[in-house]
Every structure is written in structure tokens, then in C-alpha cells.
Chains A and B, each alone.
Chain A
Amino acid sequence: METISIAKNFSIYPGGRVKEDGPYSGQLFKEQFLIPILKDLKQVIIDLDGTRGYGSSFLEEAFGGLIRDGYPKSQILTSFKFKSSDQSIIDEINEYIDAAAKRSTK
């Protein structure tokens, strides 16, 4: 399975929710990396290690934002596997996917 390292392929300083907030925002990551993977129906490992940390707004926009863009939770969970030495980041991403999915069904 292909691996995308956020630190190596995107930035070691990911941050901000939308593009106006900074050069390596969650929105940009979602559009550049996540959406093309979902469109190609591929499965990848997202390696979260090696950055200088993550803000929740980045994580929420990148992953929760996929649900708001119309991608189903089941497809997101099938396409992406997460790798991190910090389990709290993976838990938080899953929480945002769940929360956005619940909001979208209301």
C-alpha cells in the first residue's frame, strides 16, 4: 500500500484550516492529496509523523472536510489508514470524521 508522509510530501509545518490561513492548510492538503485518492478509489497509508505538530483546525478541515465535500465515511475509512507514534492524533481524526458524518445525516 502506498504511503503519503505529510512531513515529506506536504510540509513539516502543516497548519491552518483554509488556504487564507497559511501556505500548508488542511484545505490544501485535502484538495492536493486526499480527494485525488478518493477519486481514484485507491488505498493509502497517511503517515502523520515527522511534522512540528498539528493544530486541530488543520485535522478537522482535512479529514472532517471530506465528509462535507460529499465523500461517505465508509469510503474515507477504507481509503485511508493512519500511522502515527501519537495515537491521540489518529483518535482525533476519527472523531472529526465521525462528527462530520453525524452532522451530515441530520
Chain B
Amino acid sequence: MNLEYIWCTIFTWATKDSIGVKDVITWVVILLGWYTVHHFSAKRDREKEARDYLRKIVSFTEELAQDAIAYHTAKSRDEEREEVILRKIQRLSFMLQLAKKMTSRRDFPLVRNLRKSITLTNFQTNKFKQQEPRGEIILSIIREEEELIKTLF
């Protein structure tokens, strides 16, 4: 709300009805107090909403990483799971874009490195090989998952 507008309205009203200066000051203080409380309360709500959304992104990222690890450690290529993983990566990317707008941060993590760790090798290939739970691809997925989550906060 425009403070100048409020002030002018009060002043006009006060002078028109010959109300004393004390009354005007009282009302100005009341309105300023209301405005301040409202402003900080709205800011707090927005910050809470952004934090909740970031938590949602964390859960989603963990879920995606678990899917990816299950895919790479499976005995054979699973084409249905490939589609699910790609859709989740795409969704995560849009969630990150939305979160960037909500937080107004410039240095926001991108899904690129996590996508690379999951889909650059041994993905959507007929030369699929079952990965060891501590193999390079799995460790890379875990590393990029942790990195993304770390940079969110």
C-alpha cells in the first residue's frame, strides 16, 4: 500500500472535519503499525512457503536418485523405468526453476550434473551392464544428489 496515499487521505479527512493533530498522529501510528505487521507477516509467509517447497524438492531429488540407483543396479535394462526417470528429471528441473523464482536467488542449482550422472552412461543402451552398489556410476549419482541438495539451502 502506498504510504503517501494513506497520509494524504488522513490529512484531507483531518482538515475537512477539523480533527486535532493529536488524533491524526494517533491514526498515522496505528496505520503504520498495521502496515509494518502486515508487511513482515506476508514476508514470513512467503519465506515459509519457499522453505516448504525446497523440502519438497529434497524429497523428490532423493526419490529420483533412488530410482536411478535401482535402475543401474538392476540385472537388465528396464525401458519403462528409463521413461519414469527422464520424466522425473524434467519435473525436477521445472521445480528448481519455480523455486528460483520463489527465493529470488541467482545462484540456484541446475539439474544438469545430476542428469549427467544418471543418463550419460549405461542408460537407454542395449549394452546395459548391472552396476555394483559402490561402482563409479552409483557413487556419482549419490555425489550429485548430495551436491544439489546442499546448494538448495
Contacts and interface: CB of A to CB of B under 8 A. Distances in A.
Interface of A: 13, 15-18, 20-22, 52-58, 60, 85-88, 91-92, 95
Contacts of B115: 54-56, 88, 92
Contacts of B89: 53
Contacts of A87: 110
A54 B124 contact: no
A52 B123 contact: no
8 contacts: A52-B87, A53-B87, A53-B90, A54-B115, A57-B121, A57-B123, A88-B110, A91-B112
Given A16-B125, A53-B87, 17 more contacts: A13-B83, A15-B82, A15-B124, A17-B124, A21-B127, A22-B124, A52-B83, A52-B87, A53-B89, A53-B90, A54-B115, A55-B82, A55-B124, A56-B123, A58-B124, A86-B97, A88-B93
Contacts of B123: 55-57
A16 B124 contact: yes
Contacts of B110: 87-88, 91
B8 to A, nearest CB: 44
A20 B126 contact: yes
Contacts of B124: 15-17, 21-22, 55, 57-58
Question: What band does the interface of chain B fall in when counting residues whose beta carbon is under 8 Å from A?
Answer: 20 to 34
B116 A56 contact: yes
A105 to B, nearest CB: 22
User: What 4 pairs between A and B have smallest CB-CB spacing?
Assistant: A53-B86, A55-B119, A56-B120, A53-B90
Given A20-B126, A55-B86, A86 B121 contact: no
A15 B80 CA distance: 12
B94 A86 contact: yes
A74 to B, nearest CB: 24
A55 B112 CA distance: 10
B141 interface: no
B111 interface: yes
Nearest to A20: B126
